[in-house]
Amino acid sequence: MRHGLTSPLAFDQVEKWYRIILDDPEAWPDPFSSDTRYQAALSLAEAEVRLERARVAEAEAVQSLELGREEKGLFDGFPKEAIASLDEDLRALVRVARRIDRLNASAGENRLRLTTRYRREAEAQRRKALNRWIKIQSGFPKQSQILP
């Protein structure tokens, strides 16, 4: 199962955040703008979208891992004596099924570690973008203060 955290950002989500950040419902993100204020707003909007997406993916990974832990393996609860009484081919199948159960649990833990790493990276990117925005914004009045 792919997490989708490295795929391109959804433009409509970036646009939504961009407009919120600039306090302008008509603003249009322009990645080629030379205006540092608009560049900073776009970076912050992208960081917000990345962070939101990473948090959702991490929550899904946690939920999936918890559900996986609640589910019993295929042969959990079978008495060892019953399994021991099976012929060699069936015992081999039981061993394979148990290995698959362990691999699935391990995959869930790996997915959680990966999504947690992406969330932390997204938080760091957001902090940097927010600090840049605050630094740049401190010299500009809000859009709502400019308009009558």
Looking at per-residue confidence, does 84 or 37 come out higher? 37
Looking at per-residue confidence, does 98 or 18 come out higher? 18
Residue recorded with tokens 């947690």: 116
* Integer Cα distance of 35 and 32 in angstroms: 9
* Integer Cα distance of 15 and 12 in angstroms: 5
Q: How much of the chain, in percent, has pLDDT values that exceed 70? A: 76
Is the pLDDT score of 88 beyond 90? no
Is the pLDDT score of 75 beyond 80? no
Q: What mean pLDDT do residues 21-26 have?
A: 95
| pLDDT, tens digit, 9 for 90 and up, residues 111-131 | 889 999 999 999 999 999 999
Is the pLDDT score of 15 beyond 50? yes
Is the pLDDT score of 77 beyond 70? no
Domain map (residue ranges) of the chain: 11-141
